[in-house]
Structure 1
Amino acid sequence: MGVVRRVLARNVPQPWWIPRRVLTVVSADVDATAGVGAIWIVWRPKSTRARERLALVEWHDEQWRYAGGGSGPQDDPVDVDLLDVRSGGGVLSLTRSIDPPRSITAAPWISCAKVRLGRDVGHVLIGARRIQNPKHCKIIAVWASPYIGRGVRPVIVALGRDCAELSRIGPHGSLDTHTWARLIEELQPACFLVSVAASEDFWVFVRAKVCSTRAHVGRGIRCAMVRPRRLSWSGVRDSVSGRLSRSGRDHGGIARIGTNRRGPRKGDTGARA
């Protein structure tokens, strides 16, 4: 748990005696008040077989203990304008027990998220905590929550060098407010009404004139499903634009685009002209 001690001492998390070409500590975060921490590690970062590992720790029995984690292939590079958040998973607290009062449902849930920031971001707020943007613009954020609310993350806000808010993403959001503003502006005059579902899928409803390269095909409601996982700003823009152009030959009504055949969830409504 040397990395945790280094973070609490406000030192760089990378141990001096470990070569970065072998193991790189990308970021580490400790919430001393909640007694939880997270470490983001990459094994052999320059290799084609580089792997990432996320480790979650907890202050338990008067010492820092490993609570759980996971590993997988290293993420592809992402072009981040201001803010990009990806879930890092979570584990049940070490205080869990099969008996009351510390039953499984009563024990806290420890979660983390990988946050990538733009160069113009000076600090990021994870709930009420403020974290400085490092030079490589990557941080890991950790928090504890009740087990029943384990899918809810804190509001994450990107602040500029002058501490002005640049963008934010809510507890269930998939894209930050700045990216949504650019998406709407670039695809004008289409009108968007976004309904964010509880899972990773969300639907974008567009009412606009959809034209093909051959001829104008009329006016109607087009419905495009976008999966936000591993999507940068350009990926979202190209996904929506491509689906709209491919739906050009469908006259009138509601065209369901994508592989999800369930359609919008209950409560989702299309945009009105």
Structure 2
Amino acid sequence: MDNRNWDKVIGSDTKKFDLKLRDVWNYRDLLFLLVKRDFVAFYKQTILGPVWFLLQPIFTMAVYLFVFGNLAGIPSDGIPRPLFYLAGISAWTYFSECLLKTSTVFKDNADIFGKVYFPRLIMPLSIVMSNLVRFGVTFFLVVLLMAYYLVFTDITFHFNWYILAFPWLIVLMASQGLGLGMIISALTTKYRDLSLLVTFGVQLLMYATTIVYPLSSLKGTMRTIISLNPMTYVIEGIRKGLLGSGTFDVQGLLYSTIISFVLVLLGINIFNRVEKNFIDTI
């Protein structure tokens, strides 16, 4: 059958490492529609609405201040503890939300996937983009808190050129959450019990990241282990660029960049391969 007269040909053959990014671009209107839907629908029937974007990190910061600051007395690398925790919380929340929601994308959207065609990659990408909006609202708290310390206290922040890497650090967070999430989502189509371990695993991973302690407080083997986590350099980079204190350099940025893009390329490739027959196993 000659397919040259057709606008689009849907087939089962997929080239190796075919990321299908052209298909995603052709369906970009659907992507933006899904982002808008996720953002509006999530808080549509809540009393406080988008205010929850602000309350959740504030409550978490208060708990960290009491437990890790007052009780445990963990140092904050010379940064005021509220700012130290809030900067880490905002970054970690974005990463973890991208990972957790992407890891269940096949199960959560099985009905839609089985009825209509569109590039399945649209779904995890919409999760990353909608969470980016929430990250922006949350990070606004960090900016407000910085302004408070600058105006009402004698504390100053030593900005440096690392602040220019901030947009790139956001890309790295999204890439890591997206890549890991798609790999887990592909695995859970066959191994359902894996989804039960993801939430618990993300909570454990948080303590292997410099959310409640600075990397400078670690020594020896423990410092090496925590440094292997690519999210460590992302969070340290945010603190270094905005707050002037953190263990971050070009080598750490390069390491996190390589790991992030390996994860996202591997995740997209696995995701695209599983999507062809996941409906038979989900």
Asked whether the two chains share a fold, i.e. TM above 0.5, the reply is: no
Query: Which one has the bigger helix percentage?
Result: 2
Question: What's the TM-score bracket when you normalise by the shorter of the two chains?
Answer: under 0.3
Q: TM-score, normalised by structure 1?
A: 0.25
Q: Which has the higher strand share?
A: 1
Between 1 and 2, higher relative CO (CA 8 Å, sep ≥ 6) is seen in 2
Whichever of the two has the greater Rg, that structure is 1
